Amino acid sequence: MALRSDERRGPPLRGADPAVRAARAPEGLGARLERWSPWAFLLPAALLVLLFSLFPLVLSLYFSLVRLTFAPGGFRLTFVGLANYATLLAGTGRQEFLGVLASPSPPGWAALGLAAAGLAWWLARAAGGAVSGPGLLGRAAVAAAAGAGLWLVVSTLAPHGRPGSLVVTLIYVAAGVGVEYALGLGLALLCAQRLPGRRFFRVVFLLPMMITPVGIAYLFRMLTDTGKGPFTPLWKLVGLSSFSWVNDPWGARAAVLIGDVWQWTPFMFIVLLAALESQPVEPVEAAVADGASGWQVFRHITFPAILPVSSTLVLIRMIEAFKIVDLPNVLTSGGPGTATESLTLHAYVIWRALDLGGSAAIAYILLLVVTVAAVSYVRLVHRRAVEAA
Amino acid sequence: MRPARRRRAAPSPAARAASYAVLGCWTCVVLFPLYWLAVTSLKTPIDVFGGPFYLPFVDFHPTLSAWRYIFVDLRNDTLRPYANTVVVATTSSVIALVLGSAAAYGLARFPYRPRLGAILLLGGCVALAVVALSLSVPLPAAVLGAAAVFAAVWALTRGRFRRSVTNDDIAFWMISQRILPPVAVVIPVYVLFQRLHLLDTRTALVATYVASNLPIVVWLMRDYFRSLPVELEECAAVDGASRYRIFWSIVLPPSVPGLVATFLFVLVFAWNEYLFALFLTSARAQTLPLTVAAQNATRGPQWWYMSVLILIMIVPVIAMAIALERYMARGLLVGAVKG
């Protein structure tokens, strides 16, 4: 306080009066700060994100084109071009990455045929309609990618095939997001009714989302143990006491999926519930008064209303689900063999084996897959869902 | 806020019973694993391996030996990661919230028209710096050199770039950063912090988590700010308040629910993050997820210790989630509806 009053009493400096200074100089510090304020708001965040995305992307691309070798006194990076990608797609890494391809079973052929017909019809309709030029080209690319992906899935899941980490990741994403959405929607619909004690359910259902995936993985390792886990009597009852979830490829994948569903259903639930509760009740009441059944109300009123939110949720979860790593790493260590290995885990495993280039190549392919999936989803499904509302 | 809505009609008794049955089932699905965790933390190894025992005091004798081991015998090995997790998660979430909501406000209120050329130029310069770094040019020289190239080219070509990007493009670019799989980013980030001699420090983790959580903050808060009425801000501007002051005293106070939800959301991400912590820390800055994972030591998973660790790790976030549950749904919804 004393200091301040001393300052006040001191002789006024020449030109210290703000009005005088503003008149003399075209722009004072305050005005300049004000003029640049939009950039002051945006730039710190934008530059930080730019640095942490661009720099690693460039460096990762470089790593994916080199091979790490140990030389006397350190290591050396040798430029090998696209060899790392070739190893994954056609060389020694192919079994682990793409899997073992076999000729599809009859149902597999049927699914492929149906999908091909569907894609062709969709392209033909787009070509005959208003879509043209770049849009058509984009659709053709999407159709090609979807067809290739489906062919890979069908032929690795055939009797003598074995899915690699790419297909396993796709399975996690498709099955996980689908089940989570269905469960989350069902629970949200139930909780949106006027029931006493709703708040209890809301809070309880939220909990799994808060738990670290590593913890969930150990938790489900305990629970799926058929010898000492809590469900042992149940396994004995159905004669599966010697069956080990984590030693059977599909059992292990199911265990990973159950953990994932347990953790992420709450996310779908909580947002869908909020969306349902923010819908007006009048249209529903009018429909019920006109004699609409519960299913009709859901199909024609409730579901269209929550479609945009649903679409965004699926997009967010899809993007995050592609990155799954903690659960398979801890729950099954990627095993048996490589049966539960996701792409991120695959990249980590071969990074640990000091194959820097191969790891970066997998990361880049994962980035490509997620980007293609996300962009086609946004363009073809999400926009339509949002516009329809 | 909104006028009160009319309540939904109550379901019929049969429908109500069915609903409670299903909700009760899912409650068991959610709570049983947590119960099992709590029970296991009270068991001795013999109780765990002797077969499933369900009820303390009834079919096994509970003991606090695992808790004692974690908190007394391993005191520093537990408390240090715990302190690291608390410090890293809260610091990074606060910084991400401050920087992110400022950027979100900017994107919600000001039209930005940065030249596409300038952005590409900046990207090129970053790439240049990376190449220089990988050719073992020292970091300061690489950064300064790239900055000089940027300034020179920018000055020479000033005004020639015509195409610019819009706010929506910037926001979409931000959220698209979530598409980047961490595994594609983590090795270069490792190299970066190695060069800066920041490996195994909290600073490295905080910086990484801020960068990876910023897009979420920007995305959620931008829609929140856009849903606020703009008239009050205009009045304040007419009265001569600066933009910073308007943001601080007019925009932020009514946004507290959104800020709380966003904070909780990014805090949980940082609290539970595993992959970056695995690569960037080894001993001093280790966080709890790694401590939990490390219990799967040479002797096989030690369920009793692990249960204690998982419990002490999830209790704070669960307490926060229960306290702030109302905010959470609303905050998330705003972002999701507009997205």
- pLDDT over 90 (residue A172): yes
B35 has a chain A CB within 8 A of its CB: no
Across the interface, of B7, B100, B321, the residue whose CB is closest to A45 is B100
- pLDDT over 50 (residue A137): yes
Long-range contacts of A118-127, Cβ-Cβ distance < 8 Å, separation of 24 or more: A119/A143, A119/A146, A119/A147
- Bridge partners (DSSP) of residue A66 are A79
Q: Which helix (H) or strand (E) holds B309?
A: helix B303-338
B323 has a chain A CB within 8 A of its CB: no
Residues on chain A touching B321 (C-beta within 8 angstroms): 203, 206-207, 209-210
For residues A312 and A379, give the distance between their C-alpha atoms in angstroms, rounded to a whole number. 12
For residues B181 and A10, give the distance between their C-alpha atoms in angstroms, rounded to a whole number. 61
Q: The whole model's pTM is what?
A: 0.83
- pLDDT over 90 (residue A176): yes
User: Mean pLDDT, chain A, as a whole number?
Assistant: 82
Question: Is the Cβ–Cβ distance between B66 and B308 less than 8 Å?
Answer: yes
Q: Are strands A162-163 and A74-79 parallel, antiparallel or unpaired?
A: unpaired
Residues on chain A touching B316 (C-beta within 8 angstroms): none
- pLDDT over 70 (residue A161): yes
Long-range contacts of B42-49, Cβ-Cβ distance < 8 Å, separation of 24 or more: B42/B66, B43/B303, B43/B304, B44/B304, B45/B302, B45/B304, B48/A228, B48/B303, B48/B304, B49/A228
What percentage of chain A reaches a pLDDT higher than 70? 91
- Structure token pair of residue A134: 């770049």
For residues A352 and B278, give the distance between their C-alpha atoms in angstroms, rounded to a whole number. 12
Q: Does the distance separating the beta carbons of A59 and B130 come in below 8 Å?
A: yes
Across the interface, of A49, A274, A371, the residue whose CB is closest to B214 is A49
- Structure token pair of residue B213: 């959580």
Between A113 and A93, residue with greater pLDDT: A113
Residues on chain B touching A366 (C-beta within 8 angstroms): 181, 183-184
In the three-class reduction of DSSP (H, G, I as helix; E, B as strand; rest coil), residue B60 is classed as: strand
CB proximity under 8 Å: B 200-259 to A: 208, 210-212, 214-215, 218, 242-244, 247
Across the interface, of A51, A271, A363, the residue whose CB is closest to B183 is A363
Across the interface, of A205, A325, A374, the residue whose CB is closest to B26 is A205
What are the φ/ψ torsions at residue A344 (nearest 5 degrees)?
-65, -40
Residues on chain B touching A228 (C-beta within 8 angstroms): 48-52
What are the φ/ψ torsions at residue B196 (nearest 5 degrees)?
-85, 0
Chain B nearest-CA residue for A280: B5
B321 has a chain A CB within 8 A of its CB: yes
How far CA A31 is from CA of A36, B256, B290, in Å, comes to: 9, 29, 50
Interface test with B, best of A47, A211, A301, A313 (most B CBs within 10 A): A211
Average pLDDT over residues A263-291: 85
What are the φ/ψ torsions at residue A78 (nearest 5 degrees)?
-105, 135
Q: Does the distance separating the beta carbons of A190 and B22 come in below 8 Å?
A: yes
Across the interface, of A206, A315, A367, the residue whose CB is closest to B325 is A206
Q: Does the distance separating the beta carbons of B210 and A48 come in below 8 Å?
A: yes
- pLDDT over 80 (residue A205): yes
For B76-145, the DSSP string reads HHHHHHHHHHHHHHHHHHHHHHHHHHHHHHHHHHS----BHHHHHHHHHHHHHHHHHHHTT--HHHHHHH
- pLDDT over 70 (residue A187): yes
Mean pLDDT lowest among A18-22, A201-205, A225-229, B315-319: A18-22
pLDDT of residue A264: 92
Between A161 and B339, residue with greater pLDDT: A161
- pLDDT over 50 (residue A14): no
Chain B nearest-CA residue for A224: B33
Computed from CA positions of residues A43, A47, A48, A50, in that sequence, does the dihedral angle turn out positive or negative? positive
Interface confidence, given as ipTM, is: 0.82
- Burial letters B75-100, b for 16+ CB under 10 A, else e: eeebebbbebbeebbebbbebbbebb
Q: Does the distance separating the beta carbons of B177 and A53 come in below 8 Å?
A: yes
Residues on chain B touching A51 (C-beta within 8 angstroms): 126, 211
pLDDT of residue B261: 81
Average pLDDT by consecutive 10-residue portion of chain B (339 residues)? 51 86 92 90 81 78 84 84 94 95 91 80 80 74 85 77 77 81 84 85 93 89 82 87 88 85 87 89 87 72 85 88 75 54
Shortest Cα distance from A173 to chain B (angstroms)? Answer: 14
CB proximity under 8 Å: B 36-95 to A: 36-37, 40, 48-52, 54
What percentage of chain A reaches a pLDDT higher than 90? 11
- Bridge partners (DSSP) of residue A163 are A99
Among the listed residues A89, A163, A135, the one whose alpha carbon sits nearest the alpha carbon of residue A362: A89
pLDDT of residue A11: 41
